[in-house]
Amino acid sequence: MIYFDTNILIYYCIKQDETKQKISQKLIYQAIGKNEFFISPAVLMEFIFAISKLKKFKEQRDKVDFFKNFVNSSMSKNIVLSAYEKCQKFNKCRNINDFIHLEIADRYCDKLITFDSDFKNLEAFYDIEIEILGSY
């Protein structure tokens, strides 16, 4: 399975950068076609927050309904506490959301895909492959 970070979903839906949108759409379509598309409750929550903040919630409501079908895990207290322990140990708690994504991805997936270069600083703490899509 491939864990998709929130920013991939945002670029998929909202045309902020045409190249990133095309890449996001291609990756999501491919992963769905191979039954490898994975998002967590944290991704769905951040997606809803982002489209609301961008004042795009009404026009993107159908995407929330679409993406909710691909939420494949729960976000238990143990996941949050494990992420908290790691972020505290390495003094990186400003990245708690990224640690939570990695905790979930590490349990259920082989790979995490993102445009967020902050994950580069966290990959040493996990065994999962992290693909950071470059600037295009």
pLDDT of residue 56: 86
- pLDDT tens digits, 122-131: 988 899 999 9
In order of their start, the domains of the chain are 2-132 (3.40.50.1010)
Q: Are the C-beta atoms of residues 36 and 1 closer than 8 Å to each other? A: yes
pLDDT of residue 135: 54
Token readout for 15 is 């045309």
Is residue 95 predicted with pLDDT exceeding 70? Answer: yes
